[in-house]
Amino acid sequence: MFKYIKIGILLINIILVGVNILSGNLYSSIYSILFFLYFLFAFYKSKATKTYGYFGQRAIISGRIILFCFLLATCRLIQIQIKNGAEYSRRIKRQSEAFVRRFGTRGEIFDSNGKSLAYNSTTYEVAMDPSLAYSNEKILMAANEIFDLPFIKENREDFFKSLEEFFNNKRKYKLIEKGLSEDKKDQIDAIISKYKLTKKEIFIQENGERLYYKNDLYNSIVGFVGYTDEYNDEKIGTFGLEKEYDVYLKGKKSKREMRVDRGRHKIPISEPEMQKQIDGKNIYLTIDSDIQMVLNEEVKKQFTATKSEGAYGVVMDPNNGRVLATATFYDKQRPLRNGIFQDQMEPGSIFKSVIMAAALNEKFVKKEDKFNIGNGTLVRHEHTIKETTNSLKGTITAEDILIKSSNTGMVLIGEKFTNKLFEEYLKNYGFYDGTGIDFPNEIKPRATPSQKWDGLKKNTMSFGQGIAVSPIQMITAFSAVINGGTLYKPYIVDRIEDEEGVVVRRNIPTAVKRVLTTDTSDLMREILEDVINKGTGTRAQVNGFRIGGKTGTGQIVSSRGGYLKDDYLASFIGFFPADKPKYVILLMFLKPNSGAKINEKYGGTVAAPTFADIVKRITKIKSIWSEESVYVQEIKNIDTIVIPPIGGNNTNFKKLEGKMPNLLGLSSKEVINLFFETGIELEIEGKGLVESQFPDEGTDLEGIKNVIIKLN
């Protein structure tokens, strides 16, 4: 009987081997072959065991049982190590490895003085994994104790009521509180440690909060960050410079692997951890916070006083295109935008300066050329063009056309251009293209090709109507008129630095095109200074300073067609010092003093006084000396002052040339400014005003290295 059982077992094994081989099941085939060989060996040796005694037979049977168990273990090991090895490796990894995800800190935004305008603050949020909430009674005890903390605002009852629903839906995250400071986070950490939780049931996450300095002043420039449909797990720049330079500002994502124990605690390992530079870059603007404050305060003051619908202000360095400040105000809530770059309007009479400069450049006119404007009206193409004042009539010079802001005079000058040449100057000034400023969504000009102009188009554009420009276009073109004739590309960001202070990108002044000759630009500065001294811009005067500029009172296009009858765009564009401009300022007020007398709506009465107030404050903040100051008078007694280039080395400074001035009665500040960056060292003793000096007045300064003054 036993013989047939053995034969049956062997046959079954043979069948299993065949079936597994035919089915292509490799591991089952191996198992069945091993068992077949085992039983074949065991049955073959079964007769030999009868020759042994009782003890020998028991030893042999025990050995075969052990061999069978070993065979089973071998098969299981093959299954674990070879057949299912990859799956078990993944499980081990999941249990013993963890990943630390780190988001780089967003870069900061600074003004030109190094003041931080956009920066980061670290906050924390505490949350629970609802799927683990009922796995350990300590979890709920810890949660209850966290809710006892006074700064937890979430309602306890509502939280635990919804916790069961989250648990049933197998949700992994439920917020307890956010916006926690470092010390509050530490209190929650202490509770988690008290109940010996692994920080995966109740956990704390670090969040970076973006904060802004004086948001009312800088919001329209700096912009803000937020979530989008595409990026709903991290904040990106969505407006302003935050958007324009997002690729530099935003930090990179970092994922690092580490070994952990059963409690998910990190296991110290010998491999060094490489920390990549993942923080965002810092951006430094051309915006000067002092000038930004002055501009916004003064524009807002006049905007409120005149009950205007809108107001615009921008300050620029005309010699390189650096934007120093912007201001925009609206009487009604509007979608967030910076009107300096994203609004267009017909500029009015401030536009006359660029057309007059083009006419002088082409030598169509000289400033003393005379024009007969009759009674102050002209009829062109069945359209009557009038002066804004009845007193302007008769014969006037080309210079007077700007000084008195004559519309008809500008029409006569504009007619000296062909349509093609007129259009070419508009293109050269940048009115047919965006300026290319580094601000997102600059508005595109709506320019009509000269081939499609009607007969009146050039006439009205000559005095600033029939053409729409943005404030940044206007101030950029005007800068070319006064800076020597070069059109510069405006820019707001000076440089970009990494976290170690290494400059990775720098914006430098970019000359787009030479529009005018230097002689034409010099002549225009003289004429525009006369506009302030003798013409419509007298209210922009500032005692002791040479000012140049142009007033503007432009009609506003009606939504029904034509122009509004009693509302205007009051504007002024000016610069100082007039001989060597360092600042150019554009001011525009939309529909000021609605319902008031007409003379209370002009650029000369609304915008020009605001310009004067701004200049007064800038000169004080920046310590710019007036022409009448003692400091300037003393400088005039010196033959020459040679100032080295910015960034030069003190040892290479050229010396003050000429004779030693009289310093008696000056303050230490005035003396320091006088010898600033000249290479001459000052030794100052005492306080007050200068009582004595060495060397004496009139001493030749060549070779002098030290000046000693005593104050009393």
**DSSP codes, 566-604:** EEEEEEEEEEESSSS--EEEEEEEESTTTTS-GGGSSHH
Length of the chain, in residues: 712
Mean pLDDT of 150-158: 87
Q: Six-digit token pair at 433?
A: 């293209």
Mean pLDDT of the chain: 82
Bridge partners (DSSP) listed for residue 103: 253
Tell me which of 698 and 602 has the higher pLDDT: 602
Q: Report which of 427, 412, 372, 416 is spatially closest to residue 395, judged by C-alpha positions.
A: 372
Predicted confidence band of residue 644 (pLDDT cuts 50, 70, 90): very low
pLDDT above 90 for 383: no
Q: Six-digit token pair at 644?
A: 């080295």
pLDDT above 70 for 25: no
Q: What angle, rounded to 10 degrees, do the helices at 471-482 and 352-361 form? A: 40
Which residues, in sequence order, are CB contacts of 566 under 8 Å at separation 6+?
594, 595, 598
Pair 486, 478: CB distance under 8 Å: no
Bridge partners (DSSP) listed for residue 386: 377
How is the chain split into domains, by residue range? 2-83, 99-284, 289-621, 630-711
Q: Report which of 369, 403, 627, 404 is spatially closest to residue 530, judged by C-alpha positions.
A: 403
Q: Report which of 203, 180, 198, 194 is spatially closest to residue 145, judged by C-alpha positions.
A: 194
Mean pLDDT of 684-701: 80
Helix count and strand count (H, E) for the chain? 22, 25
Query: What is the tens place of the pLDDT at every residue in 246-276?
Result: 999 988 766 555 565 555 555 555 444 444 5
Q: What pLDDT sits at residue 197? A: 84
Longest dimension (CA), the chain: 148
Using the Cα atoms of residue 511, residue 517, residue 519 and residue 522 in order, give the sign of their dihedral: negative
Cα 264 from Cα 244, distance rounded (Å): 42
Tell me which of 490 and 388 has the higher pLDDT: 490
Burial label for 671, CB within 10 Å (0-12, 13-18, 19+), is buried
In the CATH scheme, what is the homologous superfamily, with its name and number, of domain 99-284?
A: Penicillin-binding protein 2a (Domain 2) (3.90.1310.10)
Tell me which of 598 and 368 has the higher pLDDT: 368
Cα 450 from Cα 707, distance rounded (Å): 64
**Which of 49-58, 307-316, 365-374 shows the lowest mean pLDDT across its residues?**
49-58
Cα 211 from Cα 228, distance rounded (Å): 19
Q: What pLDDT sits at residue 642? A: 35
The helix or strand, by DSSP H or E, that contains position 26, with its residue range, turns out to be: helix 26-44
Using the Cα atoms of residue 343, residue 349, residue 355 and residue 360 in order, give the sign of their dihedral: negative
3-state secondary structure of 469: strand
**Which of 3-17, 394-408, 417-431, 695-709 shows the lowest mean pLDDT across its residues?**
3-17
Pair 431, 480: CB distance under 8 Å: no
Of the ranges 191-205, 573-587, 596-610, which is most confident?
Answer: 573-587
Cα 672 from Cα 675, distance rounded (Å): 5
Mean pLDDT of 637-653: 37
Predicted confidence band of residue 635 (pLDDT cuts 50, 70, 90): very low
Cα 117 from Cα 251, distance rounded (Å): 18
Of the ranges 12-26, 236-250, 623-637, which is most confident?
Answer: 236-250
3-state secondary structure of 442: coil
Phi-psi label, residue 80: left if phi above 0, alpha if psi -120 to 50, beta otherwise: alpha
CB atoms within 10 A of CB 682: 15
Predicted TM-score (pTM) of this structure: 0.70
Cα 363 from Cα 207, distance rounded (Å): 65
Percentage of residues of the chain with pLDDT beyond 90: 43
pLDDT above 80 for 405: yes
Is the bond into 695 cis (omega within 30 degrees of 0)? Answer: yes
Q: Which CATH class is domain 289-621?
A: alpha beta
Question: What are the DSSP calls for 101-158, one per residue?
Answer: EEEPPPPPEE-TTS-EEEEEEEEEEEEE-GGGTTS-HHHHHHHHHHHTSTT--S-HHH
Predicted confidence band of residue 672 (pLDDT cuts 50, 70, 90): confident
Pair 451, 467: CB distance under 8 Å: no
Query: What CATH fold (topology level) applies to the domain 630-711?
Result: Trypsin Inhibitor V; Chain A (3.30.10)
Of the ranges 301-315, 368-382, 615-629, which is most confident?
Answer: 301-315
Cα 461 from Cα 178, distance rounded (Å): 58
Helices (H), ranges, 225-383: 240-244, 246-249, 289-305, 339-342, 352-361
Q: Where are the beta strands (DSSP E) in 416-462?
A: none
Query: What is the tens place of the pLDDT at every residue in 78-94?
Result: 766 766 767 767 776 66
3-state secondary structure of 265: coil
Predicted confidence band of residue 655 (pLDDT cuts 50, 70, 90): very low
Residue given tokens 């030598």 in the structure block? 363
Q: What pLDDT sits at residue 261? A: 55
Cα 522 from Cα 66, distance rounded (Å): 109
